Amino acid sequence: AVFWECSSSVFSMKSSHSCYIIATIVRMSRCLALVVFLLVAGRAHTQQCNVDDNVRFDCFPEDGVTQSKCEARGCCWRLPKSSGNHTTPPRRGGRLLPTQDVPYCFYPSDYPTYSLSNLKETDYGYTGDLRRSTHSYYPKDIMQLKLDVYFETNTRLHFKIYDANSQRYEVPIETPKVTKKVPRPNYEVDFVHEPFSLRVARFDSGQGMNETLFNTNITRSFMFTDQFIQISSILPTSYIYGLGEHRAGFLHSLNWTRLTMWARDIPPVVFLGPSPDQVIQQYTEVIGRPFMPPYWSLGFHLCRWGYGSSDKTQQVVEKMRKAGIPQDGQWNDIDYMDKHLDWTYDKTNFSGLSDVVKDLHDHGQHYVNIIDPGISNQQPKGSYAPYDDGLSIGAFITFANGSLVKGQVWPGETVYPDFTNPVTKVWWTAEAKAYHDKINYDGLWIDMNEPSNFVDGSILGCPDNSYEHPPYTPDVLGDKLSAFTVCVSAKQYWSTHYNVHNLYGMSEMIASHDALANIRGKRPLVISRSTFPSSGKYGGHWLGDNNSLWKDMWYSIPGILNFNLFGIPLVGADICGFGGTTTEELCQRWQQLGAFYPFSRNHNTLGSKDQDPTSFSPAMQKSTRDILLIRYSLLPYLYTLFHKGHVTGSTIVRPLFFEFSMDQEAFTIDRQFLWGSSLLISPVLEENATSVNAYFPADTWYDFYTGTRVTSQPSKGKMITLDAPLDKLNLHVRGGRILPTQDPNTTTTASRNNKYGLIVAMSMGSVANGELFWDDGDTLSTYENGKYIFMKFSAVDNKITSTVIKNGYPYADKMELGSTRVFGVAKQPTSVSANGKAATFTYDSKTQMLTVSDMSLPMKVPINITWKY
């Protein structure tokens, strides 16, 4: 595995077009046990150091750069040009001085690198040889490389650079294999032979010119060594999103920013779009589409660390029922366990746990508990099966010499399961089942799976080798790779931990997902803290331990948007904040925002004041109940989006620019977001605010509550100040869309029996379209097995119709349409008919909303609703 760091500079920003770079990352390296430090070559040549500030590529990304260390790498040491007429280079570490962002130590324009030869066309694209004759400054250059370029689909180009002479570790995640070049790709690739560089351009018929997406002809910093890989490109835009989980706004700063990631699995692929949502669809085509969540997992969930007993857990659930606040899932954090031991519960304080779970099930609700990977090795022999059984089959991670890696987590000293080992998966399933026989849980919340360790490496430290001490250590917390985790030279079934570190969480997700499917025979819910590209196939994610702060509430929006880019759409932050103490106002606003997280859960830390909705004033409880009932009414729309995500890879929650990719104003908006293409959410993110400035991209938008049209397709987007009293979340529906809804209740089990509805938001030309995917919400692979119903809705002028595209859903007979709200009906209708019979309706001439109610139209056959003036 290799550490990719992204150092970039704003080079050119062409027109209003943006390019979407989603994890176009390389990895492929084998670590050798012996590190031989080779003398750095490249000092003899005449340096060409006249390089402009904005194309200076950092030659010393580590800490502690000095002029002599820099020049020992054959690099240039100069003040930034922008700092004026200084001729003497600075004497101390470059970054501390004025104009601090521009590196002092950078590659000269004639730095020795690879050259390309024997470039040939092949069935799949191109192949060629890359060679260098002088060494770079990191040990173990791979002097001969192969370049393969695959024209995989019209929108997917894949290039791979690898060791010409030996097989190196590659992450065992399946990606599509393509052996035949597509005839008319939507892109072109060209090469420079000496020094080697590569350029990818997307053909853009609209603009009549081709847009360069990736171009390495900018610096000679390309390196491929045993433990360090670097490739540099000109960025076509200053709008860069994605690239791993970071606590910041949505848009990245490009001023020599380092984003540290460990091991990426996928050979570099450039996904070409052109639309941003298509980029995600293309990306998930490679990494795998998101899983289809059980319907109940889209309801509201409640958790805290420190209920302290099953009685207290039960009381909270009962208070929620009494208050009529929707809740589908009750969760427990680690305090339910006996001495923090996995697959046990505290027989004293949580003696009533199985009754709590039974009561939840009797009320159509579900139960989820936390599990950590660390398994205690300190229990008396014969008293703790998870350890004894795991040890006997070799389920745990060891050092190269075969002895167990022992760390320290909640239960004290622990060992770590190696989830990449098939025997470990079998053992994990058996332990999960043995516990399930006692406590009938429905989902698993897997935490601490980086894997986390309270001591660095192991209780005995780590061996001294080139895995533990690579020539380049990325900017990781603690400054060494084993900080807060296990020794990276430890052994796992797939490979050395060094290579598979970032896959630990995902391997546990796979094991847990498969265990749940096996034990329950139903759709699994796994929520994981650590994730990797492809994790979305197995479960969802919560954004970790946030604090009860207004700023953290805002950061949760970029957080959920990013995870939608990563193909892990079932995501949310801890509503009302995890750490610290919330205020009623913050919690009320956060419940409003959180009602629109794909994964909606209120969770609190040990020792903090209660923050479940029932612990606040009646007014706060009411607004929380109201907004959650709105969420529940919109679940058919959300579920349909999840279906689309599962099948095509499109995002569930979207930034505005995904729908309005030509609107530059929209590029920076991370305080509002969309559900799919159609529903705009504009939360209040500031204390004491009673209004919100919301951006409306150029289109027709209607107020969700009243149906009032707020904008009528203006030529450009506009900012509008909206009223936002404490009990209101602003929601707007986009013209031209139809959203399927369902009368809500306080659990999805109950609401699923109710009648459906439609929100029809007419475009300025009086048309609208929408669709509904429905199944039983819990059976595995309903789409794959055809056990679902899929229908389309359309409205033109004064008529709404439906078309059933597919019906394999066994309970389709029970589905009835009960009501419809139509936005943008310009005149008072005189009569409305539904399937040919007179229907009850009201019309509000001020808001131009027509409401048709009290219908019972079977949905498995075509529906028609018409009105006359």
Ligand X SMILES: *[C@@H]1O[C@H](CO)[C@@H](O)[C@H](O)[C@H]1NC(C)=O
Of 18-26, 202-210, 284-292, 376-384, the window that binds ligand X (rule: CB under 6 A) is 202-210
CB of 827 to ligand X, least distance (A): 21
Of 43-51, 132-140, 209-217, 658-666, the window that binds ligand X (rule: CB under 6 A) is 209-217
In order, the DSSP letters of 610-652 are P-SGGGS-HHHHHHHHHHHHHHHHHHHHHHHHHHHHHHH---S
Of 172-180, 544-552, 719-727, 813-821, the window that binds ligand X (rule: CB under 6 A) is 544-552
Tell me: does residue 154 bind ligand X (CB under 6 A): no
CB of 209 to ligand X, least distance (A): 5
Distance between CA atoms of residues 344 and 792, nearest Å: 48
Name which of 769, 776, 819, 818 is nearest 791 in CA terms.
Answer: 769
Tell me: does residue 93 bind ligand X (CB under 6 A): no
Site for ligand X in 379-398 (CB under 6 A): none
- Residues 437-476 as x/- pattern, contact with ligand X by CB under 6 A: -----------------------x--x-------------
Distance between CA atoms of residues 230 and 138, nearest Å: 11
Classified as helix, coil or strand, 455 is coil
Tell me: does residue 431 bind ligand X (CB under 6 A): no
Site for ligand X in 551-570 (CB under 6 A): 552, 555, 559
Q: Which amino acid is at 172?
A: P
Tell me: does residue 864 bind ligand X (CB under 6 A): yes
Name which of 409, 422, 450, 439 is nearest 511 in CA terms.
Answer: 422
Name which of 3, 503, 10, 40 is nearest 251 in CA terms.
Answer: 10
Classified as helix, coil or strand, 288 is coil
Binding residue for ligand X, selected from 11, 203, 484, 494, defined by CB under 6 A: 203
Classified as helix, coil or strand, 596 is coil
CB of 801 to ligand X, least distance (A): 7
Tell me: does residue 693 bind ligand X (CB under 6 A): no
Of 128-136, 268-276, 418-426, 542-550, the window that binds ligand X (rule: CB under 6 A) is 542-550
Distance between CA atoms of residues 555 and 671, nearest Å: 9
In this structure, how many other beta carbons lie within 10 angstroms of the beta carbon of residue 52? Answer: 12
Q: With respect to ligand X, which residue has the nearer C-beta, 281 or 802?
A: 802
346 catalytic? Reply is no
Let me know how many helices (H) and strands (E) the chain has, helices first.
13, 44
Tell me: does residue 546 bind ligand X (CB under 6 A): yes
- Residues 822-841 as x/- pattern, contact with ligand X by CB under 6 A: -------------xx-----
Tell me: does residue 816 bind ligand X (CB under 6 A): no
Q: With respect to ligand X, which residue has the nearer C-beta, 468 or 659?
A: 468
**Set 342, 346, 447, 514: catalytic member:** 447
Q: With respect to ligand X, which residue has the nearer C-beta, 12 or 255?
A: 255
Tell me: does residue 209 bind ligand X (CB under 6 A): yes
- Residues 303-322 as x/- pattern, contact with ligand X by CB under 6 A: -----xx-------------
Tell me: does residue 785 bind ligand X (CB under 6 A): no
* Beta-ladder partners of 212: 201
Distance between CA atoms of residues 300 and 357, nearest Å: 17
Distances (CA, A) of 501 to 288, 429, 524, 531, 748: 20, 22, 25, 11, 38
Q: Which amino acid is at 369?
A: N
Q: With respect to ligand X, which residue has the nearer C-beta, 275 or 864?
A: 864
Q: With respect to ligand X, which residue has the nearer C-beta, 61 or 522?
A: 61
CB of 610 to ligand X, least distance (A): 15
Measured in degrees and rounded to the nearest 5, phi and psi for residue 53 equal -50, -45
E runs forming strands in 713-788: 718-723, 730-734, 737-742, 756-761, 767-774
Distance between CA atoms of residues 369 and 695, nearest Å: 40
Tell me: does residue 127 bind ligand X (CB under 6 A): no
Binding residue for ligand X, selected from 399, 454, 493, 783, defined by CB under 6 A: 399
Tell me: does residue 508 bind ligand X (CB under 6 A): no
CB of 195 to ligand X, least distance (A): 9
Cis peptide before 451 (omega within 30 of 0): yes
Number of residues counted as binding ligand X (CB under 6 A): 35
- Which distant-in-sequence residues (6+ apart) come within 8 Å of 96 by Cβ? none
CB of 108 to ligand X, least distance (A): 13
Q: With respect to ligand X, which residue has the nearer C-beta, 457 or 707?
A: 457
CB of 515 to ligand X, least distance (A): 27
Buried b (16+ CB within 10 A) or exposed e, 365-386: bbbbbbbbbbbbbebeeeebbb
**Set 450, 545, 585, 686: catalytic member:** 450
Name which of 828, 812, 749, 766 is nearest 297 in CA terms.
Answer: 749
Classified as helix, coil or strand, 681 is strand
Tell me: does residue 100 bind ligand X (CB under 6 A): no
Q: With respect to ligand X, which residue has the nearer C-beta, 256 or 657?
A: 256
Classified as helix, coil or strand, 28 is coil
CB of 142 to ligand X, least distance (A): 24
CA atoms within 13 A on the CB side of 785: 9
CB of 28 to ligand X, least distance (A): 26
Angle at the Cα of 423 from the Cα atoms of 421 and 427, rounded to 5 degrees: 120
Tell me: does residue 688 bind ligand X (CB under 6 A): yes
Site for ligand X in 604-643 (CB under 6 A): none
CA dihedral 63, 66, 69, 74 (to 10 degrees): 110
Tell me: does residue 766 bind ligand X (CB under 6 A): no
- Residues 245-284 as x/- pattern, contact with ligand X by CB under 6 A: --x-----x-x-----------------------------
Tell me: does residue 217 bind ligand X (CB under 6 A): yes
Binding residue for ligand X, selected from 143, 710, 750, 780, defined by CB under 6 A: 750
Of 142-150, 352-360, 540-548, 729-737, the window that binds ligand X (rule: CB under 6 A) is 540-548
Q: With respect to ligand X, which residue has the nearer C-beta, 452 or 782?
A: 452
Site for ligand X in 180-199 (CB under 6 A): 188, 192
Tell me: does residue 294 bind ligand X (CB under 6 A): no
CB of 203 to ligand X, least distance (A): 4
Copy the structure tokens of residue 850. 């027509």
Cβ distance 502 to 419 under 8 Å? no
Distance between CA atoms of residues 207 and 821, nearest Å: 40
Q: With respect to ligand X, which residue has the nearer C-beta, 167 or 401?
A: 401
450 catalytic? Reply is yes
Distances (CA, A) of 708 to 591, 684, 735, 855: 25, 20, 11, 24
Distance between CA atoms of residues 671 and 656, nearest Å: 10
Of 20-28, 611-619, 743-751, 760-768, the window that binds ligand X (rule: CB under 6 A) is 743-751
- Which distant-in-sequence residues (6+ apart) come within 8 Å of 432 by Cβ? 343, 444, 512, 515, 516, 519
Rule CB under 6 A: which residues touch ligand X? 188, 192, 203, 209-210, 217, 247, 253, 255, 308-309, 324, 346, 349, 399, 401, 403, 460, 463, 543-547, 552, 555, 559, 687-688, 745-746, 750, 835-836, 864
Catalytic residues: 447, 450
